[in-house]
Structure 1
């Protein structure tokens, strides 16, 4: 079986070889397999040193301090800890949260749960077509009882960037805790939690060529005492998240963050060229509609709706050649249209003919040319078939 061209990096990324090797060294008796909490022998000391180094790598990527990095099982847990941990202090107090209609389900479902407990949530409407959340929208939505703003930096379906720095300034001025889901932003966009006035920031390793099952939550030192623990048992991670630390996964995430920081600028430039080339190739072949902002985006994502009578057939042709997504991986098992596209004003019919292409480190010019060539061949053959049917 011929392997498909992988263009679904937004769903997950392969682990880089050097990261795999670092992970493997933490498994065996000859390696650093010890429990980092065991401080009576060198097995535990060695593992703890790896944890410390990895925490520093994550902190360096987002311009934080190591003491502000809390290990979690992934961005979903980080989002839950950030939002529920903040709001747990305000039970039965009718407090208010601001988020948007195009957040990841880990945020939307958490906010829906809090609504059922009596909290009020404002879901901001993004700009139609682009998905932009404007800072003035956020400021206008603030109420006297607003305690949390939760917005993603890069949308996981369309790649649109949010003006986090301006929104962070607004939150800071109003003394509101600001949470950012940066699962799709890390390694793709510059992040400085200090300059951006971010209090809580969610990260995931498997979006940046690290292992699945590990993530982190940045918690600004000044707000750590305001976050209520969600997983109890041992008081690990500044008392915010108990559980034996998975040294191998943490080492993998640390290495992924270290490498991401080094390659960010050049990799974005390289992928942007491929994205431009691919979009131009699609537009030359068939009518398409771009979903997302034309310039305020990371290079890695391209979300397009195919127009015209052949749209459904073109989608089928693409999926025979490339591994792509019709939405976010978390929602791909649902038959309903993407909530992101719906919020952007994309019709249900058009949403059904939409593809998210996402590019990564192994994407090259040959992949782009091969996919465009396959589509050209398909369109030529379909035109011949139409002519034949009328002859």
Structure 2
């Protein structure tokens, strides 16, 4: 059987075995609804409370500031839309390199007549504090800047940006989907008001996430219905998924430093092989980035071609382009950081995870070299 290498961990991750096993009892024997008052629901209710406390502890929050959602997309939409008031013309500020969950939610605000500003980043993908300072006013309602970019891995200066937002009376939201479980986060120290996350990015189950909302933040409920999640997010909680998420996050945080060292070593092995064989590439967003995310633009080559040829070799990566049946478009992130066109079309993202080994990094790089020689 041909060896399979998965190196697209920024898209999704393999579920942690401990997280998977922790979910099983709540899928079969302990299936009670945590909202019910009878004895059979006491264990699910207690488990829900404990999971909330575990997650809060991992990010420096309190349990009553954690709300369970379906994932990052819901969380981003809640943050962007949940602050709207009829007739209020306050401005939302975000960046040009956000995930489409934020960008498309902001587009909807514009269609409804609410003003939005999309700020540029520098060539490394960094949202400079002085850029925000130059446009923010007392009429700014929300500043939303992702903590880690999903394509190039850049870590944004969240504390500095949040401080500027608060100075002007604005709330600060961060899409932390690519950050939670991968880099240290303390919402108090960073000054974050709202944070969105998704479990399947840190070896938890799909379809579950959490939203941090700082106590006292005035935001509308996202889903109307029952009184679940302190009356802010209606719908029966998925106890199994929530427990799986809490176990995965606790484990990711416990082994974070060890995992980071492993991922940085894999990155270097990968890049060393490309350089050894003379591959002409640009490393995107590399100065201050999340461990494991390697985004490179290779000169005069098609990223889509590389993706498909690697797939034939049993290697999974992703490309910096969005391909449809008519044309291949350079991603909005690669455009925003001004990668030269003869490199931009050859953009790929190799994102290593804790189940990868250094041998994977070497094999992927050598496969790319082989493909480039054969074309």
- Structure 1 and Structure 2 fold alike (TM over 0.5): yes
The question of 1:123 aligning with 2:118 is answered yes
Q: Give the Cα–Cα distance (whole angstroms) in 1 for the partners of residues 119 and 371 of structure 2.
A: 41
Deviation per residue, 1:74-105 (Å, 9 max, x gap):
01001111111112xx3212110110000000
What pairs up with 1:187-336 in 2 under 5 angstroms? 187-223=181-217, 226-285=218-277, 286-292=279-285, 294-308=286-300, 316-321=308-313, 322-327=315-320, 335-336=328-329
Q: Number of residue pairs matched? A: 371
The question of 1:98 aligning with 2:93 is answered yes
How far the C-alpha of 1:289 sits from its partner, in A, is 1.0
Structure whose CA Rg is larger? 1
Deviation per residue, 1:18-62 (Å, 9 max, x gap):
111011121113xx2111111211x21100111111111211111
Match of 1:2 in 2: 2
Q: Give the Cα–Cα distance (whole angstroms) in 1 for the partners of residues 333 and 296 of structure 2.
A: 13
What TM-score results when the alignment is normalised by the length of structure 1? 0.90
Match of 1:373 in 2: 366
How far the C-alpha of 1:257 sits from its partner, in A, is 1.2
Match of 1:175 in 2: 169
Deviation per residue, 1:313-369 (Å, 9 max, x gap):
6555433331000138xx566843211111111355533311000010111011122
**Which runs of no fewer than 5 residues in structure 1 stay unpaired?**
383-391
The question of 1:82 aligning with 2:79 is answered yes
Task: Note if contact 1:86-1:227 (Cα within 8 Å) is conserved in structure 2.
Answer: yes
Q: Give the Cα–Cα distance (whole angstroms) in 2 for the partners of residues 111 and 262 of structure 1.
A: 35
What pairs up with 1:33-72 in 2 under 5 angstroms? 33-41=31-39, 43-72=40-69
Which of 343, 347, 354 aligns to 2:347? It is 354
Match of 1:153 in 2: 147
The question of 1:113 aligning with 2:113 is answered no
Q: Give the Cα–Cα distance (whole angstroms) in 1 for the partners of residues 302 and 82 of structure 2.
A: 49
Task: Note if contact 1:326-1:332 (Cα within 8 Å) is conserved in structure 2.
Answer: no
Q: Give the Cα–Cα distance (whole angstroms) in 2 for the partners of residues 310 and 86 of structure 1.
A: 42
* Aligned partner of residue 68 in structure 2, secondary structure: strand
Task: Note if contact 2:300-2:343 (Cα within 8 Å) is conserved in structure 1.
Answer: no
Task: Note if contact 1:79-1:202 (Cα within 8 Å) is conserved in structure 2.
Answer: yes
- Relative distance call for 1:376 and 1:69 in structure 2 (3 A) is same
The question of 1:19 aligning with 2:52 is answered no
Kindly report the root-mean-square deviation, in angstroms, between the aligned alpha carbons of the 2 structures.
2.0
Say which is worse superposed, 199-208 or 227-236, in terms of deviation: 227-236
Match of 2:332 in 1: 339
* Aligned partner of residue 70 in structure 1, secondary structure: strand
Q: Give the Cα–Cα distance (whole angstroms) in 1 for the partners of residues 348 and 235 of structure 2.
A: 39
Say which is worse superposed, 210-219 or 362-371, in terms of deviation: 362-371
What TM-score results when the alignment is normalised by the length of structure 2? 0.94
Deviation per residue, 1:253-303 (Å, 9 max, x gap):
1111111110111111110111012112112221111111x2211112011
Task: Note if contact 2:9-2:353 (Cα within 8 Å) is conserved in structure 1.
Answer: yes
Deviation per residue, 1:191-237 (Å, 9 max, x gap):
111011100000100000000000111000021xx101121111211
* Aligned partner of residue 190 in structure 2, secondary structure: coil
Task: Note if contact 2:154-2:288 (Cα within 8 Å) is conserved in structure 1.
Answer: yes
**Which runs of no fewer than 5 residues in structure 2 stay unpaired?**
none
